[in-house]
Amino acid sequence: MSGDTSELDAYLRAQEKKDLLRLITCGSVDDGKSTLIGRLLYEGKMLLDDQLDSLKAESARVGTQAGDLDLALLVDGLAAEREQGITIDVAYRFFATDKRKFIVADTPGHEQYTRNMATGASTADLAIILADAHRSSELLTQTRRHSYICSMLGIRHIVLAVNKMDLVQYDQAVFEAYVARYMAFAKELGLTQVECIPISALRGDNVISPSRHMSWYRGPALLPYLETVEFGRESSMRPLRMPVQWVNRPNADFRGFAGTIASGTVRTSDRIKVLPSGQEATISRIVTQDGDLEAAVDSQAVTLVLDREIDVSRGDVVCAAGSPVSIADQFAVRILWMAPEALLPGRTYLMKAGTVTTQATVTALKHKISINTLEHIAAKTLRLNEIGLCNISLDRPIAFEPYAESRDLGSFILIDRITNQTIGMGLIDFALRRASNIHWQNLEVSRSARAAQKNQKAAVIWFTGLSGSGKSTIASALEKRLYSLGRHTYVLDGDNVRHGLNRDLGFTDADRIENIRRVAEVARLMVDAGLLVIVSFISPFRSEREAARNLMGEGEFLEVFVDAPLDVCEARDPKGLYKKARRQQLMNFTGIGSAYEAPEHPDAHLDTARLSVEEAVDKVLNLLEAKGLTSA
């Protein structure tokens, strides 16, 4: 037993020393990704008896290999995937050899699941791109798309595995012709480290050991290559960056900043600078439950204690004092769009970057990228799975590094503020310096002074509702009543804005968003000027009304839902627009060709099918009174 124990001990020590290679497999549908992973697990003796038994049973039931083991069933984990025989979502698989541990992300081949492929790629050190030798006369769109995404996400090591060599009689010429075609494309992408291996995942050629059928191939088989490839993580050589994740204050005597080191090394008595505030301090302790450390390196999760009280909170970045990161609020970025609803310039999204979450607006969509030709194509929106170059503007400056220098500080996701879905992933290419050129003039006459001079409080009363619901009528009656009460008011509606300021805008979703953005900005300036502003616009989208609300101060925005059923509005049809829309002479008309998103919690709800104009105005006046807006 003692011999056994020391042998085991040696084995365990060897296990501890192993490093971890994270890789993805990608390629078009039917290129054999799941089969390849199944083959690695099977040949590598990574499958246990009960897993093999259940694989045999499932192969007989739903397998595609005529009763033989269907290795793809090992990885397709969802019922829908096994039934349809396709991979929908990323599956993570784990295996270890004597040399290394591996986490494999098996990613889907279908174009509609590209966002799942990109998710798998974002954490990978290496990508295996599978291609089908049998369909090798050209590069498939998915092969190009996946290669592009791998290069964009900074994966340095690519293995081009030309699969199904058994179907082309292991012909060297087929392999070499395909490799030449692929390498030309890889060169354009700037992918330099590409290892090309001819394999058959189904038959096991060149997967674990060299194939007997391809003696012309002199390179390594796939698994030996994965076990030995040098993959660098040079981030420990770079200056210290640690995004603050959580402030640890168990009692009055302890204040530590918890986070994971993104790059570099931190030592006690190091001088550090906290961004964006720019304050400096010295590290007094590096705290862990296993005792204080003298030093910690990148990827370690630690808690830092500083020698003095400075203001540090979640989202700040602790940097080496001598080489801090930059801060900015406008960036040139690349975005991969992940939602069925298109990206719309002008709309405000939430952006999570590192440990900071801000509001972000796409200010310009410069172009999208054609996967096939890598050409830049002019675009007004980005659709699901499209990649575009954009400028974005945040509501405050953040500490960052370009993605090329730091995956942790240069990556972000975009979140829809209403549905909370993750709708895009992006990387920061560089900061736009324009932000620092616009300084708000600090005027001596303040907004509250202007309102006080008029003996009132300023606010926006925002009417939203379908065309014909009664917005303009009520807005105009409301203004008369306020005027008679001595209030200073102004009404913004389609007639006075669409004909002038917004003359250049049409009725596409993107133009509607820009329309509302401009109206909201004008309303804000008028509130600054001390006015009660009545906005009367269909404003069909929740998201833009929410953005307008966020422009104003607390309590300065009241949303009034002017509500009438579509058939009532259509019967009224004061401008004859519904008739035109029904005759298809008017496209994108709200309620007919374009959606209206009703407010979920309006400050006032006016049911104009029941209320008279005067009753509706009274209801709004009651609201204003309750909010203290009608009195001085």
Q: Does 18 bind another protein (CB under 8 A)?
A: yes
Out of 16, 98, 230, 554, point to the residue binding another protein (CB under 8 A): 16
Q: Cβ closer to another protein: 2 or 169?
A: 2
Q: Which of residues 91-130 bind another protein (CB under 8 A)?
A: 91-94, 96, 101, 103, 115-116, 118-119, 122-123
Q: Does 359 bind another protein (CB under 8 A)?
A: no
Q: Does 612 bind another protein (CB under 8 A)?
A: no
Instruction: Please give the Cα distance from 343 to 364 (Å, whole number).
Output: 11
Among 75-83, 366-374, 392-400, 523-531, the segment contacting another protein (CB under 8 A): 75-83
- Identify the residue whose tokens are 């030592």: 267
- Identify the residue whose tokens are 């830049």: 376
Out of 282, 288, 436, 455, point to the residue binding another protein (CB under 8 A): 288
Q: Does 238 bind another protein (CB under 8 A)?
A: no
φ, ψ dihedrals at 516, nearest 5°: -70, -35
Q: Cβ closer to another protein: 15 or 141?
A: 15
Q: What is the 3-state secondary structure (H, E, C) of 81-97?
A: HHHHCCCCCCEEEEEEC
Q: Cβ closer to another protein: 296 or 606?
A: 296
Q: Cβ closer to another protein: 55 or 459?
A: 55
Q: Are 428 and 335 spatial neighbours (Cβ–Cβ below 8 Å)? A: no
Q: Which of residues 398-457 bind another protein (CB under 8 A)?
A: 407-408, 411-413, 415, 420-422, 425
Q: Which of residues 124-143 bind another protein (CB under 8 A)?
A: none
Q: Which of 200, 211, 406, 539 is catalytic?
A: 539
Q: Cβ closer to another protein: 79 or 378?
A: 79
Question: Which residue, 395, 628, 348, is CA-closest to 516?
Answer: 348
Is residue 539 part of the annotated active site? The answer reads yes
Which residues on adjacent β-strands are paired with residue 272? 281, 320
Q: Does 11 bind another protein (CB under 8 A)?
A: yes
Q: Are 262 and 242 spatial neighbours (Cβ–Cβ below 8 Å)? A: yes
Out of 24, 71, 90, 202, point to the residue binding another protein (CB under 8 A): 90
Q: Cβ closer to another protein: 96 or 184?
A: 96
Out of 10, 19, 585, 632, point to the residue binding another protein (CB under 8 A): 19
Q: Specify the long-range contacts of residues 449-457, CB closer than 8 Å, at least 24 apart.
A: 450/528, 450/529, 450/530, 451/530, 452/530, 453/530, 454/487, 454/488, 454/530, 454/531, 455/486, 455/632, 456/487, 456/488, 456/530, 456/532, 456/629, 456/632, 457/628, 457/629
Q: Cβ closer to another protein: 17 or 308?
A: 17
137 contacts: CB under 8 Å, gap ≥ 6: none
3-class secondary-structure state, position 429? strand
Q: Does 501 bind another protein (CB under 8 A)?
A: no
Q: Are 202 and 167 spatial neighbours (Cβ–Cβ below 8 Å)? A: no
Nearest distance from C-beta of residue 380 to another protein, angstroms = 24
Residue 223, number of CB atoms within 10 A of its CB:
21
Q: Does 76 bind another protein (CB under 8 A)?
A: yes
Which helix (H) or strand (E) segment is 10 a member of? helix 2-17
Q: Does 250 bind another protein (CB under 8 A)?
A: yes
The two tokens of residue 467 are 């065309």
Query: What DSSP letter does each residue of 440-486 carry, written as one string?
Result: ----SS-HHHHHHHTTS--EEEEEE--TTSSHHHHHHHHHHHHHHTT
Which helix (H) or strand (E) segment is 191 a member of? none
Among 79-87, 219-227, 365-373, 545-553, the segment contacting another protein (CB under 8 A): 79-87
Nearest distance from C-beta of residue 214 to another protein, angstroms = 32
Query: What DSSP letter does each residue of 359-372 carry, written as one string?
Result: EEEEEEEEEEE-TT
Q: Does 300 bind another protein (CB under 8 A)?
A: yes
Among 3-11, 470-478, 562-570, 574-582, the segment contacting another protein (CB under 8 A): 3-11
Q: Does 2 bind another protein (CB under 8 A)?
A: no
The amino acid sitting at 421 is: Q
Q: Cβ closer to another protein: 357 or 473?
A: 357
Q: Does 547 bind another protein (CB under 8 A)?
A: no
Q: Which of residues 306-345 bind another protein (CB under 8 A)?
A: 314, 338
Among 43-51, 431-439, 502-510, 537-545, the segment contacting another protein (CB under 8 A): 43-51
Out of 50, 98, 294, 554, point to the residue binding another protein (CB under 8 A): 50
Q: Which of residues 251-280 bind another protein (CB under 8 A)?
A: 254, 256, 258-260, 265
Instruction: Please give the Cα distance from 484 to 478 (Å, whole number).
Output: 10
Among 294-302, 502-510, 583-591, 617-625, the segment contacting another protein (CB under 8 A): 294-302
Query: Would you name the residues annotated as active-site residues?
Result: 539
